[in-house]
Every structure is written in C-alpha cells, then in structure tokens.
C-alpha cells in the first residue's frame, strides 16, 4: 500500500512537471531574442587619424626617448561596433571608442534600414556614447532600460552584438559578478561570450530589459575565454537627455577616496562587522572636507542603502548627477554620524596654462602647469592629484635627442619637499636641485641630478 501511494505521488509530480509550452519544452530564449534583436544596430564610423611617415616614431621605445622628426599624414580609418536603441525616437547607447573622432556615422538596423547618426554626448572616461538617428519618420524598435536593477550573480543574461562583422548574434551566460573593478572602472562581469564587434551591444536580463553594454573581454589571444565585461546601465542613465556643448560629459566630483573595509581595519575602528568602506584621502577642495568628513571615517551606507565594498561605492558615485545630495552614514570612534554632501563639477580650469622652464635645470625646455581636478579628469588622470605639476612638453637634451621626461609626467617632490604648484617648483629649484620624484602613470620614478 505504501509502495502504491509512492507511485501515485511520483506520477502526479511527473505530470505536474510536464512542460506546457514550446518555450518550456525547449528551454528556449527565443521569446527574449525576438523582443530584443530588432533594437540591436550595427555602427560604422569613418574617422580621420594621423599617422607618422617615420617608421621609427611608431615604435614605442624610440618614440619615448628620442626626438624623431614626424611627418604626419591623415588617413581615413573605419571602425565597426554595435549599439542598442533605447527609445522610439532613435536614441542609441554604444561605447565611446566605437565613434570617437568620427567624421561620419552610419547605423544599420536588423531589418536593413540605414540611417545617419550624430553624437549627443560622450563620456570618454567611462567609454559611453549616446547617439541619435537623423531623419527618423518610421517606427523604431527599442529595448527598455531596467527601472531598478535587482540582478544578482548567477542570473541568466543574453549578450547581443555583431561580432567580427558576421551579423547580429546572441550568446547566453550568467552574470558572474555585479561589480568588478577593471582598470579603475566598475563593470559587470559575465561569461556570455563577447567578441570584437560586440562592443556597444546589449546585455539583457530574462525580461528583455537592458542591464548593461558589452565593453571588453579579458583575454591574451583576443578570443573569448568566458570573462567578459559590460558597462552597468545605472552609470549610463545620467547621460540620457543631455547634449553637452563640447560633446563630452563631466562626471560629478566628491573629492575623496575610499577603500574596502577588512577585518583588521574594522577592529582598529572598533567595528564588529567588515562591511563598508573607509576614507583614505580627502582633497582640500572637496565638498566633503567642508562638511567635516575626516580621513579614517567608515561609510556604512549611502542614502540608507548599505555599502559593502569600494566597487559598490564607486558604482553609486557613477549613478550620481552634479549638485545631487548624498546622505552618508558614518562611523567615527564608536559613534554613528550622518553627513549630507553635494556632488559638484570638478573645480578648476580644464585648459592647461603652462609655463616654460628655463635655466640650468634637467626640465629646461619643458612646459609645466598647475594641475586642477577639472584638468586631471580631462586628461584621464586621478583628480586627487590636484596641486602637483604636470609636464606639458618634453625637454630634449643636446646630442642624441635623449629625453628623460614625457608629457603627462607629474612632479611630486624636489629634494624631499612636496611640489604643489609652479611657484613651489620655482622656489625649490632656484639654487639648483639634487633629486626629483616623478609620477608616471602608476609608477614613481626618482631622478638624481649631478
């Protein structure tokens, strides 16, 4: 009797689990693909680039150290990428590198319709571009943006694009990580195959909502190895509806840095948990400094939402707009505090106002300038480096044309003293110098004189 009951229950479960539709039977993504694919476009951009006629100058080693004569010529280069339509007016989201310096942009829809397009706004630092189709008079398909991204690691996702120019392609995978720091940028990670040509396409959830823009892969060969990255849609939303005068978008600035809290730091701060971030540096011009934020403060929440890591905090900052208020929950010496801080546009001039170095000095012939947060952002440098000196042009020594310095080098110290301005540098080298520390990218180089 017991065996008979078990058989009946087993059969009942089996019948209840029988697929009731074609989608369930085939475990198919087809309904999502049919919804999204018409909104995926191929982008063809014509760009004018300058190349040197001197083959030695194209070599990084020789270009770095020697003053080789340049004979630039202009060439027409073509780039190809993908994009995704996000409204019925013809607004397209793609990657900035697909259309950077483009003289002409042509867009081809999945139904073979072709349009000219123009750039509305571009955020080169985060590789985002917003385009719009010209002369739209017909119905345009589009993919809706996710209203509230509640995706989690392990969720199914689909990646759309035009890899290698073979045509519209869809691949599937999962969301491997919601936040992954890649070269200072916070991106989504997925194992859905992403290949060259996919850049600027769409990464969607199972509702057919846009959650990210495929952007890069981690590979030594150029082929997909299951580690792909996409720009989170939350970092794109602040750009929508904007039309920057210079074609570029400037992200709001808070002027302080944070790091993820670990167990050792948590214990030193008298905290029981290890979730949150702690402030490592605050710029003198930061609105946070004005409001009283201090180095070592632990931030546990932003706008009452828990912050668990630096990546999570950085992603939140990318979602902000200028002049937007942040409500921070701070822990300081066992006490919980509340701060309200407004984001601002990076202060200072973007334009480099340079001064030429003269006299008996290893930098003689270089042009140097005070570095502002605005200028740093425009040059792709860390905005916290404001106040040091940037080398504007390269000095050349006599004889072999050998150069020790490069445009973009930042002078941090001279004879053991911090250099915070051009006036500082002049004062410190007035009677000569013995040593100098230069920041070049992530490296700190020491130069000794004499």
pLDDT score, position 398: 45
Q: Is 197 left (phi over 0), alpha (psi -120 to 50) or beta?
A: left
CATH homologous superfamily, domain 355-448: PDZ domain (2.30.42.10)
The distance of Cα 9 from the centroid of its chain, to the nearest Å, equals 55
Higher pLDDT, 4 or 300: 300
Is the torsion defined by CA of 287, 291, 292, 294 positive or negative?
negative
Q: Where are the domains of the chain?
A: 2-28, 40-133, 256-342, 355-448
Same fold, 40-133 and 256-342: no
- Active-site residue, selected from the candidate residues 42, 110, 151, 199: 199
Cα–Cα–Cα angle for 237, 239, 245, nearest 5°? 170
- Active-site residue, selected from the candidate residues 82, 110, 123, 127: 127
64 pLDDT band, cuts 50/70/90, is very low
**pLDDT (tens digit, 9 = 90+) per residue, 394-417?**
645 444 445 678 888 888 898 889
Report whether pLDDT(146) > 90: no
Going by CATH, does the domain composed of 40-133 fall within 1.10.3470.10?
A: no
CATH architecture of 256-342: Roll (2.30)
Beta strands in 86-225 (DSSP E): 91-94, 102-108, 114-123, 128-133, 156-161, 169-182, 185-190, 202-204, 210-217
Q: How far apart are CA 173 and CA 156, in angstroms?
A: 6
Q: Which of 230-244, 320-334, 402-416 has the highest mean pLDDT?
A: 320-334
Mean pLDDT of 122-132: 90
CA-nearest of 389, 348, 350, 345 to 370 is 389
- Three-state DSSP at 411 gives strand
- Three-state DSSP at 384 gives helix
**What one-character DSSP code corresponds to residue 291?**
H
pTM of the model: 0.75
Q: How far apart are CA 178 and CA 174, in angstroms?
A: 11
- Active-site residue, selected from the candidate residues 97, 149, 219, 403: 97
Active site residue 21: no
| Cβ burial 348-374 (10 Å sphere, 16+ → b, else e) | bebebebbebeeebbbebbbbbbbbbb
- Three-state DSSP at 374 gives helix
Average confidence score pLDDT of the chain: 81
pLDDT score, position 288: 93
- Residue ranges of alpha helices (H) inside 158-219 are none
Q: Is 101 left (phi over 0), alpha (psi -120 to 50) or beta?
A: left
- Strand 325-332 relative to strand 355-356, pairing: unpaired
Active site residue 97: yes
158 pLDDT band, cuts 50/70/90, is very high
Active site residue 127: yes
Beta bridge partners of 259: 278
**What one-character DSSP code corresponds to residue 37?**
G
CA-nearest of 162, 175, 184 to 229 is 175
Residues sharing a CB contact under 8 Å with residue 201, sequence separation 6 or more, in sequence order: 40, 82, 83, 84, 159, 160, 161, 162, 213, 214
Q: Are 193 and 166 in contact (CB under 8 A)?
A: no
């Amino acid at each position: 009797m017991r065996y008979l009951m078990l058989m009946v229950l087993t059969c009942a479960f089996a019948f209840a689990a029988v697929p009731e539709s074609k989608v369930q039977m085939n475990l198919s993504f087809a309904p999502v693909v049919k919804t999204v694919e018409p909104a995926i476009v191929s982008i063809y951009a014509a760009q004018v680039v300058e190349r040197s006629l001197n083959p030695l100058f194209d070599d990084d080693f020789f270009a770095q150290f020697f003053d080789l004569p340049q004979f630039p010529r202009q060439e027409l280069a073509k780039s190809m990428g993908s994009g995704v339509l996000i409204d019925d007016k013809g607004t397209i989201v793609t990657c900035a590198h697909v259309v950077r310096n483009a003289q002409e942009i042509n867009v081809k829809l999945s139904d073979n319709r072709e349009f000219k397009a123009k750039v509305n706004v571009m955020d080169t630092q985060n590789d985002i571009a917003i385009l719009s189709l010209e002369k739209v008079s017909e119905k345009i398909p589009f993919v809706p943006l996710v209203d509230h991204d509640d995706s989690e690691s392990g969720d199914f996702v689909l990646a759309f694009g035009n890899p290698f120019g073979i045509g519209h392609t869809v691949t599937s995978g999962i969301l491997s990580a919601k936040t992954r720091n890649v070269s200072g940028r916070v991106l989504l990670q997925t194992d859905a195959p992403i290949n060259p040509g996919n850049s600027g396409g769409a990464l969607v959830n199972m509702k057919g909502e846009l959650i990210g823009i495929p952007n890069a892969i981690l590979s030594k060969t150029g082929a997909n190895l299951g580690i792909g990255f996409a720009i989170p849609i939350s970092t794109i939303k602040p750009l929508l509806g904007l039309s920057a005068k210079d074609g570029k978008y400037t992200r709001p600035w808070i002027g302080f840095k944070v790091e993820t809290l670990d167990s050792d730091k948590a214990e030193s701060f008298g905290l029981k948990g290890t979730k949150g971030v702690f402030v490592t540096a605050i710029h003198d011009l930061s609105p946070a400094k004005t409001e009283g934020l201090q180095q070592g403060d632990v931030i546990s929440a932003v706008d009452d939402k828990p912050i668990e890591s630096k990546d999570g905090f950085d992603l939140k900052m990318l979602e902000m707009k200028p002049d937007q208020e942040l409500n921070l929950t701070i822990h300081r010496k066992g006490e919980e505090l509340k701060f309200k801080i407004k984001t601002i546009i990076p202060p200072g001039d973007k334009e480099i106002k340079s001064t030429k170095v003269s006299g008996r000095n290893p930098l003689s012939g270089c042009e140097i300038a005070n570095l502002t947060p605005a200028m740093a952002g425009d040059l792709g440098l860390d905005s916290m480096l404001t106040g040091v000196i940037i080398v504007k042009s390269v000095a050349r020594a006599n004889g072999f044309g050998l150069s020790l310095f490069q445009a973009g080098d930042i002078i941090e110290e001279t004879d053991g003293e911090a250099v915070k301005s051009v006036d500082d540098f002049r004062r410190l080298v007035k009677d000569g110098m013995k040593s100098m520390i230069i920041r070049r990218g992530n490296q700190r180089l020491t130069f000794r004189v004499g």
